[in-house]
Structure 1
Amino acid sequence: MTDRRSLLLTLGLLPWTGLRAHVEHENWDVVVIGSGAAGLSAAAAASESGLRVLVLEKQGTVGGNTLHSGGFYAAIDPARQKRQGIKDSPELFEQQILENGGGKSDPKLVRLLVAGASDMLAYLEANGMRFKDRIIEIYGAHWPRCHLPVLPNGEGYIRTMLNIAMKNGAVIRTGMRATDLSTAKDGRIQVLVQSRREEILLTPRIGVILATGGFGANQALISRFAPRLAGLTNDNTPGSTGEILVAARKLGALLVDLEEVQCLPGRPPGGQRRVRLHNDVSRFIFVDHEGRRFVREDERRDVLRDKVLALPDKTAFSIVDDEGLRSYDILVQKETVLGVETGDAWRGDTVEELANAMRLPPKTLQETVEAYNRSVRSKIDPLGKNPRELRHEIKTPPFWGCYAAMTVHYTMGGVRISPKAQVLREDGTLIPGLWAAGEVTGGIHGVNRMGANGVNDALVFGRIAGLSAAEAARD
């Protein structure tokens, strides 16, 4: 057994199969590993450019974390924003990403993300994807530039990009787990793939695009790189295990920011269902076990994470009224109702009744809601919430609450890439024939990814990777 395989087995990333690998002789130009937004965007761009593309997905269905994400998409959109009186600019967007990155974000990559997000929005709509007209500021986004798809969660992105890729001849294979990367004698990148029956060695003509997502579902890696978050729940699909980072490192890839892990409100350990009442920062408030607000709801995501983790049992609560709940998409409404049945959420015809159901001090919670409503009317919040988001009082019964424990959501670290999405070595040189996009990469978001900057990142850099592979094919 090789040291590489021993490491993966130790981390729980690779089950021992005893299968013997055979060489796959199909003549693929590009192999894309992962079928979330990044992988399908890369496959669409490469196949549109005339390349023969194979997409490998370890799970039984396509979509990855994108399919189960909130689906919000940040982009400058002059037409929609102007109708709402929202002023925005590329310079502001870039500045906010860099500030949130804490000095770890590559300005060149940030600039590409900002410009590419608007271009990709137009591309999606030209290919039939629909977004709602209203732009909002979601949790941790810091500006109203977040687009809401008509289809729930990330379904619209997966449908759209999958349709483009397959229409142009890309082949999608599920249940195919990439377990290793290597270099052939002629310098081409090889992929070792494990299916249910065998191990296959693929050697594409042009190269490999990594779009495998992060490692949020792997407790061993979370414990290793972000030990204070060990034991938290996660909202990732089971495939987010990060083994391809180990494989890329073996090829000499530079890994950065692995310690930077983002958390969102979710279920505490032992909870059965995640309920998301926090999406729109103008609609909800956070309270602690005393029924008091303890932080502005539009604060940075890393600050919100640390504030909640500093509470005695590392758990807060989100509160909305019925008007707020009904402003969310149908899946969020459904999960809230189901959460009431499982004890992960609560409903009350009055604030006092809600407080009793949640075992919070009724008088304190009532005072908190009344004080917040006064802040909405006066546009002055003692905790500093931006007046722009002080728009909705919490006053329409019934009232709803849910747990807001921190759950591992997104890993900001991964392989470092060039502006053409090429994977870089530690000395800054390129690894020929290897590209990467999406959550598997690092160097874009730094210490704190802004809200709604996950799907756009995946789509933008997925497309760059696919076009870069096509460019390499022409050279």
Structure 2
Amino acid sequence: MAQVIVVGGGLAGLSAAHTLLERGANVLLLDKQPFMGGNSTKATSGINGAGTQSQQEQGIPDNAKLFFEDTKRSARELARDDLIRVLTGRSGDAVNWLQDKFGLDLSQVARLGGHSQPRTHRGSAQFPGMVMTYAQMERLEDLAVSNPERVSIKKKARVVKLLKDEQGSVIGVNYTHSGKTETAYGPVILATGGYAADFTENSLLKKYRPEYYNLPTTNGDHCTGPSSPHWFGRPNDPEAKVKFLAAEALRGVGGLLLDNQGQRFVDELQHRDYVTGKMWENGKFPIRLVLNGDASKQIEWHCKHYVGRGLMKRFESGEALAKEMGLKPEVLKKTFDVYNAGVNAKKDPFGKKFFSGPDWTMNDYFNVALMTPVLHYTMGGLEIDDEARVVGKDGKPIPGLFAAGEVAGGVHGANRLGGSSLLGCVVFGRVSGDSAASYLLQRIGPLAEKAAGRLGAVAGHLGAEPSKPAAAASSQAPAAPAPAAGGAKSFTAEEVANHNKKDDVWVIIDGQVLDVTSFLADHPGGEKAILLYAGRDATEEFNMLHDPKVIPRYAPDCVIGTVKK
């Protein structure tokens, strides 16, 4: 069968690719990065879903209608009801699909800002975005090896032109790869992400939202496109243009936002654009996100990760926190007492309606981070309809062209609810895959019927295979190369510590020494994530974020030896 071309290897593109395989289509995936994943791997709070298996098991009375109303309220004047209905109506199926097809743990359900019900799903370990993206990415890569006639993946491939026929239908692309310009034919799904890291003088950001142009961003350098309240500030690098994203779940589990006088100034569970506005209005920076012991336990893995990166700091008492803030302990105690009184009376002075955990006391431990508004995402560039077809200037769908993810406008309106970013990618990735596969079959004409039986059998084998846990699915990945006996190189920790510069970076992971100098520019999380551990043992941090197979799969050549015992 003819192929569909998917441009972009983030969660939207990967979801589209797997859906195409389920529908019996062949897939050519083109990604401009050396590693797929995009910003999807950075998503830390979870994925929204209404009426999911996990919600039903926990007795959460949620449904698509409630989710629609919450999303419409958040989207405000820029709402597209038809797209919101698709997003919310297919949300439960999207979460169940991830659990059933890829064996993912999405059993923990939380309530984030702007949601009337707990509906943001995540598992007990690792960042949800990374888990979802890697599971799909590795499955697709395995299929590209075992069934290359059905799946082809080309990385470091940049699409430079859409090809059209005389009727204006998109029939393929020109792309550059390995120094050559190549041509591929087929319907096209664009899943190329946003532009929130484009700080050039002619960027869309500067043209359309110049008031946000000077803000830092959480996006990777590859995102060349509103404002979110969630950034972790590094005390030793406050002016950095690229910031680390703080999970909305930190507010969702009960974190409080305090200004430099130790005072609350906002309902922490309001929409992110509302919270951002209150930050600017208050103006008493630095603003801190404070989690007490109970909130920290609910999201322990995140806190451990952020503390390890120097993005959060743990304090063993309220007195210690007050000292850090330059306040008298009684000032912080009064803030806690006023908050507790509002919780108990169910009458918060800032209108907060949902609370969790016991009373806040000074005799507790706290995880704390500095916060500031950032550019977290852009929404749009292409208009789509409810079948993920790209709409032209004449208001009609462009035949053969589809879009999903952050590049598509109108899905989230003026403000995206926390937990709906990954959802938008999965839902509209699947919608675009369905639509492109149907379009392809229609274009094939009379041959479609003859091929239907064979295609169905192939789809059942490749795309709709029984679910199996992600770890089990990749159990055949090659083991990390061990240094050869006799010629094995080993290094002391002191020797590794000497390689701690940007042009000479070694790290230790699980007793192996890796030279990651040449890998810096290719690392999906950015070079800073590696440089933080230059010359050090990064085992704990690495294993918190990655499966053990990541090194043998993506960086086997980086292993240069072992650590001397």
Settle same-fold status: TM greater than 0.5.
Answer: yes
Indicate which of 267, 270, 274 corresponds to 2:239: 270
> Is the contact made by 2:231 and 2:374 (CA closer than 8 Å) also made in structure 1?
yes
User: What is the aligned partner in structure 2 of residue 235 from structure 1?
Assistant: 218
> Is the contact made by 1:277 and 1:319 (CA closer than 8 Å) also made in structure 2?
no
User: Aligned pair in 2 of structure 1 residues 267, 228: CA closer, same or farther (>3 Å)?
Assistant: farther
User: Aligned pair in 2 of structure 1 residues 190, 132: CA closer, same or farther (>3 Å)?
Assistant: closer
Indicate which of 10, 14, 18 corresponds to 1:40: 14
User: What is the aligned partner in structure 1 of residue 425 from structure 2?
Assistant: 458
User: Aligned pair in 2 of structure 1 residues 263, 182: CA closer, same or farther (>3 Å)?
Assistant: farther
Indicate which of 63, 68, 81 corresponds to 1:89: 63
Indicate which of 166, 172, 189 corresponds to 1:209: 189
| In structure 2, C-alpha distance between the alignment counterparts of 1:275 and 1:241, rounded to whole Å | 17
User: Aligned pair in 2 of structure 1 residues 191, 262: CA closer, same or farther (>3 Å)?
Assistant: farther
| In structure 1, C-alpha distance between the alignment counterparts of 2:163 and 2:360, rounded to whole Å | 57
Q: Map 1:374-453 to 2 at 5 A.
A: 374-386=341-353, 388-395=354-361, 397-453=364-420
Secondary structure (helix, strand or coil) at the match of 1:401 reads strand
| In structure 2, C-alpha distance between the alignment counterparts of 1:433 and 1:314, rounded to whole Å | 50
Q: Map 1:253-292 to 2 at 5 A.
A: 261-268=226-233, 269-270=238-239, 274=244, 276=246, 278-279=248-249, 280-292=251-263
User: What is the aligned partner in structure 2 of residue 297 from structure 1?
Assistant: 268
> Does 2:182 align with 1:191?
no
TM-score (norm 2): 0.70
> Is the contact made by 1:308 and 1:315 (CA closer than 8 Å) also made in structure 2?
no
| In structure 1, C-alpha distance between the alignment counterparts of 2:441 and 2:57, rounded to whole Å | 44
| In structure 2, C-alpha distance between the alignment counterparts of 1:335 and 1:185, rounded to whole Å | 54
User: Aligned pair in 2 of structure 1 residues 329, 202: CA closer, same or farther (>3 Å)?
Assistant: farther
Residue identity in the other structure for 2:185:
P
| In structure 2, C-alpha distance between the alignment counterparts of 1:370 and 1:274, rounded to whole Å | 32
User: Aligned pair in 2 of structure 1 residues 357, 228: CA closer, same or farther (>3 Å)?
Assistant: same
Q: Pick which of 448-457 and 145-154 moved more.
A: 145-154
Larger relative CO (CA 8 A, sep 6+): 1 or 2? 1
Q: Pick which of 370-379 and 105-114 moved more.
A: 370-379
Segments of 5+ residues of structure 2 without an aligned counterpart are 443-565
Q: Pick which of 357-366 and 48-57 moved more.
A: 357-366
1:356, CA displacement in angstroms? Answer: 1.9
The aligned length equals 424
User: Aligned pair in 2 of structure 1 residues 316, 141: CA closer, same or farther (>3 Å)?
Assistant: farther
Secondary structure (helix, strand or coil) at the match of 2:420 reads coil
> Does 2:159 align with 1:178?
yes
User: Aligned pair in 2 of structure 1 residues 376, 313: CA closer, same or farther (>3 Å)?
Assistant: closer
User: Aligned pair in 2 of structure 1 residues 354, 466: CA closer, same or farther (>3 Å)?
Assistant: same
Residue identity in the other structure for 1:439:
E
TM-score (norm 1): 0.82
User: What is the aligned partner in structure 1 of residue 552 from structure 2?
Assistant: none
1:314, CA displacement in angstroms? Answer: 6.1
> Is the contact made by 2:195 and 2:205 (CA closer than 8 Å) also made in structure 1?
yes
> Is the contact made by 2:9 and 2:191 (CA closer than 8 Å) also made in structure 1?
yes
1:164, CA displacement in angstroms? Answer: 4.7
User: What is the aligned partner in structure 1 of residue 198 from structure 2?
Assistant: 218
